[in-house]
Amino acid sequence: MTKQKYSIYLILIILVSCLLICGCSQKSSSQPKKPETSMNQKPKTPSGAKDILKEIDKIISELDKKTKAVKMPMFATQGQMTAQGGQGQDSSQSDGSQGGSGQSDGKQAESQKQSQGSGQGKTQGKEQQPGMKYQAETMSLLKIHESWNSLEPEAAKAGMSSTSRDDFEQELDKLTASISEQKLEESLISAIELYKKFSDLIQIFSMSIPPDYFQVKYEAMAAMAFAAQQDWEQASAHITNIQDPWNRLKVQSQKASQDILMKTDFAVTDLENAVNSKQLSLVIIKGDILMKNLKALEQKLSGQQGGGQ
C-alpha cells in the first residue's frame, strides 16, 4: 500500500514538473520580442520637428536670395531682372517718341530727375519700414520658436541631452538676434548652423531620411555661404568635410535611383572643384545644382512622388 502511494506521488510530481517546464519555456520564447522592439525602435518624428525643418529651409532660402542679390546681382531673381528690363523699355520708348534734340535733352533730364526722385522715395520707404525686408524670415522664426516649445519636452523624453537642447536654443536665439538687426551674412551662417543643430536633434527620432543627409546638406550650404564671404579657407574645410557623410549616405540610399545618386555624386565633386577654384560664380551655379539634386534625393528617400524644386 505504501509503495502504491509512493508511486502515485512520484507520478504527480513528474506531471507537475512537466507542466511547469512547458509554461516557463512558452514565457521565455515570447518575452524576448518585447524588449527588442522597445530597445531598438526610436519614437516617430513629431510634427513639430518637421515644422522646424520646413521653416529653417525657408529662412535659408530667403537669406540666400538676399545674399546673391548683394554679392552677385547677375544671379538676382527673374522678377527683379524683369523689373529692370521694364524700366529700360520705358526709357527707350520715350526716346523714340522725341521730336527734336533740344526736347530730347530736356525730357532726358526730366526723366532722370523723376527716376532719382522715385529711387529716393523707395529708399525712404524702406528706412521707414526696415523690418519689412525680413518679414518672411521673422514669420518663420516665430513658428520655429513655437514648434520648439512644443517639441522640447518630447525630445527630452526621447533621450536628447540637456546640452544638445541648450545648443539648439542658443543657436536659435543667435539667429533671432541677427535677423532682428538685419545682419545678412551673420543671419545666413547662423541659419545654416541651426540646420546643423537640427540634424543632431533628428537623430533621436525615427525618420526615413538618414541623418547623414542633413550633414551633407549642411556642409554644402556652409561651403557656399563662406564662399560668398570670400572666406575660402572655411569654404574649403566644409566642402572637404562633406565626403565622409556623403559616402555613407550613398550606401544608405538604396531607395533612390542610381541616376539621382550619380548626378548628386558628380554635383558634389563639381562644387568641390568650384570652391577650390575660388570663383564665386561657379560656386553659386554648382551649389544650386547640388541643392536641386539633394532635394530630389530627399523626396525619393521620404517616399514622395514626383519631382520638386
| One domain for residues 194 and 54 | yes
Under 8 Å CB-to-CB from 278, ≥6 apart: which residues?
Answer: 227, 232
CB 218 within 8 A of CB 196: yes
Cα 84 from chain centroid (whole Å): 32
| One domain for residues 232 and 215 | yes
| One domain for residues 245 and 161 | no
What distance in Å separates the CA atoms of residue 76 and residue 216, rounded to the nearest whole number?
A: 26
Q: How confident is the model at residue 109 (pLDDT cuts 50, 70, 90)?
A: very low
Task: Give mean pLDDT, residues 282-304.
Answer: 91
| One domain for residues 150 and 299 | no
Per-residue pLDDT, 76: 59
| DSSP code per residue over 21-80 | HHHHHHHHHHTTHHHHHHHHPPPBPPHHHHHHHHHHHHHHHHHHHHHHHHH-GGG--HHH
Q: How confident is the model at residue 94 (pLDDT cuts 50, 70, 90)?
A: very low
282 domain residue, yes or no? yes
Task: Give mean pLDDT, residues 74-79.
Answer: 58
The number of folded domains in the chain is: 2
CB 282 within 8 A of CB 297: no
Winning range, highest mean pLDDT, from 26-30, 107-111, 207-211, 264-268: 264-268
80 domain residue, yes or no? no
Q: Is the pLDDT of residue 248 over 60?
A: yes
Q: How confident is the model at residue 9 (pLDDT cuts 50, 70, 90)?
A: low
| 62 DSSP β-pair partners | none
180 domain residue, yes or no? yes
Per-residue pLDDT, 149: 94
Domain residues for 139? 46-61+132-207
| One domain for residues 193 and 219 | no
Per-residue pLDDT, 226: 97
- Domain termination residue (choose one: 161, 192, 207): 207
Q: Is the dihedral of CA 199, 203, 206, 211 positive or negative?
A: positive
67 domain residue, yes or no? no
262 domain residue, yes or no? yes
Q: Is the pLDDT of residue 140 over 70?
A: yes
- Domain termination residue (choose one: 207, 239, 256): 207
